[in-house]
Structure 1
Amino acid sequence: MGERLRATAAALGDEALRLFFPLAAIHAAAWPLLWVVVHRLDLTLARTVPPSMWHGHEMLIGAFGAALLGFIFTAVPEWSNQDRPRGRGLFILAGLWGVGRLVGLLGADVLGALGAAADLAWLGAIVVFLTLTAVRQRALGLRGFLFWIAALWLAEAAARYGFLTGDLQLARTALWLAVLAFTGVLGLALARITPPITNRILDPGLRSTPFRPHPGRRNLGPILIAAAMGGTILGASAAVEGFLLIAAGAACLDRSAEAFIGRAFFRTEILALGGSSALAGAGLLLVGASRLALPVPELAGLHLLTMGGLGLGVLSVFAIAGKLHTGQPLGLEAPVKGAFLLLAGGTFARVLAAFDLTTPSITGALHVAAALMWAGAFLVWLRCYWRFLARANGPGAHG
């Protein structure tokens, strides 16, 4: 048993996605279910920070944060032709991430400084890694990722400061900025991932590149998201923020138009990548409409953006990169396709719950259904991919 555990640990530490994608999946699956239960217990250790803020923070910095660690420390070395981090350094980052999650699980305000230090440390490690890589490798294409993750670090610092000082308005604004920062990262990631995956599907032999993305769509979404972020930081009126968010949402929706590539459009990989942009765009539109005082619950747009746009993007990366980085051929099994349906179902159940003003309790049927389907999506993925991720020295044809 000890030898088997050591072999599994060695395999997980061989590449960042092998370690952090399962951690992200476990956290993404467990937290919403715990949230339904823990909220009923009212997070008894919380004194200053409302449970709803802990929930938002833990979904962003917890689940999506682990996915970000796995993505950056796997993709950036591949893009820049350098050795990837492995072994002890990855486990140290995982430990720091875990300390923050323990504090968030308890909702323990008294341990807030410890959680803040841990989360800012691993986020800072990403910023340092990107900076050093960009300078040493002259990788100018990493500047966008550096901008957004530095913005995420600042947003997390502001949110944690608000938690520690009881400035809940600052914390609320900072968490919204963190949502926008993650959405900016998503836009850049999809711009890098979608073309090569689309070409693999259109020409499995990789003899040609039949799909070439429209250059005007490449970074339009992240640029307009940055404008919306600037409006929030500068204290723009709700109406101005609303129009900026609608513009950013329209750009994300426009990006999803590249998914229409003929019959291959119906491949799950294409639907998922395009759907991530579409749901993120729709979520931004709904939040923007709410800021313009239209009869749209902002919470509905927020969950469509985070659970739908970010969540579908994360699961897409898990499914596609998990195949290519463990030597498996591209193509998704039926259970994994079902996981995407579960995630979409959970998202729309949560959005409908935000519109249902008659049952505001998060223990209502729609909330519970949303949590169960969302959790099921990530657990199904983990069940299907664990045997590849935990196996050392696979065929190893990275994509």
Structure 2
Amino acid sequence: MQKGQAPVLLAYGFRPFFLLTGAYALVLILGWLGFLFAGWSLPLGWSPFQWHSHEMLYGLVSAAIAGFLLTAVTNWTGAPPLKGGRLLALVLLWMGGRISMWLASWIPTWLVALVDLAFLPVLALYLLRVLVAYKNRRNLLLVVVLSLLFGGNLLMHLGFVSGRTDLLAAGERLGLDLILLLMAVIGGRIIPAFSANWLRMHGGDANWVTRSVWTDRVALMSVALLIALDGLGVSETSLGLIALVAALSNGLRLWQWAGWRVCKEPMLWILHLGYAWIVLSLSLRALAALIGAVPDSAWQHALGAGAIGTLLLGVMTRVAVGHTGRPLKLAPFGLGIYLAITAAAVLRLLVALQVLDFRLGLSLAGLAWTLAFGLFTVLYWPILSRPRADGRPG
């Protein structure tokens, strides 16, 4: 490292935050299973089930969002990346939130909330500053989503302080809905583009991948409407109908991207599979609301373990090599990451549908989840912690 140059791990936002995502996904589920089945006494302070959902949404996913957006905003604007001491400060802020949430019963409630709530506004303000300075108004929506995520996190903290379970549930649902919207927006940009580029480079026809402006609009607007109506407390029937429209339009969107054309490339089919989990989650939500055929936990875990888990790993494994000057190839044994997260998602959904015994199914799902994120952390640590292969900075 040259004098004045940031350490490799702090040279780009994706490096520390993707490694933290992998490691925290491992720690979080192992701690959760230990609490449920091994009698571990954790000083959480919160209701354990709300604590678990909070840390999955506002702890784990927020790290992955930060890693992706800090990297993407540089591509979108040409701005220099956040690095060095400023990036370290943001990393430490996220870590402070996690420590406070794990030790919540030992720390004053106001301090836990203050530390945990600080991360998302700081990240949003940084992105806002860069996007405005470089006149990139198209992506200001993402700042709005981050701000609303802060609102969801605030609702959960207010629910904990006041003992109001309705606020806890509202914060949880808002987090799920907003992360769904983020995945739909970002997935709609990268999945068809990556697929068309791969086909073009491998002798296929990029025109096999199609996009419709109206399909995209309906798909995204229906998800956004679902968030708005959910917050207004409208009837379950209304929510179910909007969820059905969202499922059908996002399903059509996915079909137009022709995922079967890229099935030979694991780093692409995993992204299509992750988006398919979104469609399944919306379909289950519609069934739950309209006819009560499935419990709410089914769509929530199809979205959480399925879509979120799959897309996190699909995006991180691609960005890790693409932004370190390496060929766009899966790391050796990396296919195990994709198979393990798929097994985890299927098993967790079967538990939610009461097809599998709760204790057995949750243990197996947790084991598959820890295998997926553990493999990612071990296999991609050398890539994320070493200089770019092409010798360029970053």
TM-score (norm: length of structure 2):
0.91
| Superposition deviation, residue 120 in structure 1 | 2.2
Measure the CA separation in 1 of the matches of 2:283 and 2:223: 12
1:349 — aligned with what? Answer: 347
Aligned residues: 391
In structure 2, the residue corresponding to 1:213 is in which secondary structure? coil
Gaps spanning 5+ residues in structure 1: where? none
Number of the residue aligned with 2:278 = 280
* Unaligned stretches of 5+ residues in structure 2: none
Cα deviation per residue 1:56-80 (whole Å; 9 max; x = unaligned)? 0111111111101101111111111
- Residue 310 of structure 2 is matched in structure 1 by 312
Aligned counterpart for 2:125 among listed residues 96, 104, 128:
128
Partner of 1:378: 373
Contact 1:145 1:188 in 2 (8 A): no
Please tell me whether residue 390 in structure 1 is matched to residue 388 in structure 2. Answer: no
The TM-score with structure 1 as length reference comes to 0.90
* 2:131 is the counterpart of 1:143: no
Q: 2:33 aligns with which of 28, 31, 36?
A: 36
User: Secondary structure of 1:332's match?
Assistant: coil
Q: Where do 1:314-353 residues align within 5 Å? A: 314-353=312-351
User: Structure 1 115/251 Cα, relative in aligned 2: closer, same or farther at 3 Å?
Assistant: farther
Measured against aligned partners, the alpha-carbon deviations of 1:301-350 in whole angstroms (never above 9, x if no partner) come to: 11111111111111111011111011111122452122111101011111
- Find out whether 1:170 has 2:167 as its counterpart: yes
Q: 1:390 to 1:313 in 2, by over 3 A?
A: same
What are the residue-to-residue correspondences of 1:229-308 with 2, within 5 Å?
229-260=227-258, 263-308=261-306
Instruction: Find the aligned partners of 1:398 and 1:311 in 2 and give their Cα distance.
Output: 30
* Separation in structure 2 between the aligned mates of residue 270 and residue 169 of structure 1, nearest angstrom: 39
The residue matched to 1:84 in structure 2 has which SS? coil
Residues 230 and 239 in structure 2, CA contact (< 8 A), matched pair in contact too: yes
Structure 2 Cα separation of the partners of residues 109 and 290 of structure 1: 39
Alpha-carbon contact 1:327-1:398 (below 8 Å) kept: no
Residue deviations 1:226-247 (CA, integer Å, cap 9, x gap): 1011111111012212222222
Root-mean-square deviation over aligned CA pairs: 2.8
- Percent identical pairs in the alignment equals 24
Q: Give the whole-Å Cα distance in 2 for the aligned partners of 1:233 and 1:90.
A: 34
Which moved further from structure 2: 259-268 or 177-186? 259-268
For the 8 Å contact 2:15–2:384, the answer to whether it is kept is: yes
Q: What secondary structure is seen at the aligned counterpart in 2 of 1:328?
A: coil
Aligned-partner Cα distance in 2 for 1:44–1:20: 25
Partners of 2:6 and 2:363 in 1: CA distance: 34
Q: Distance in 2 between matches of 1:59 and 1:217?
A: 30
Pairwise CA distance, 1:109: 7.6
- How much does 1:300 deviate? 1.6
CA–CA distance in structure 2, aligned partners of residues 124 and 51 of structure 1: 26
Q: Which amino acid aligns with 1:271?
A: W
1:230 & 1:279 partners in 2: Cα distance? 22
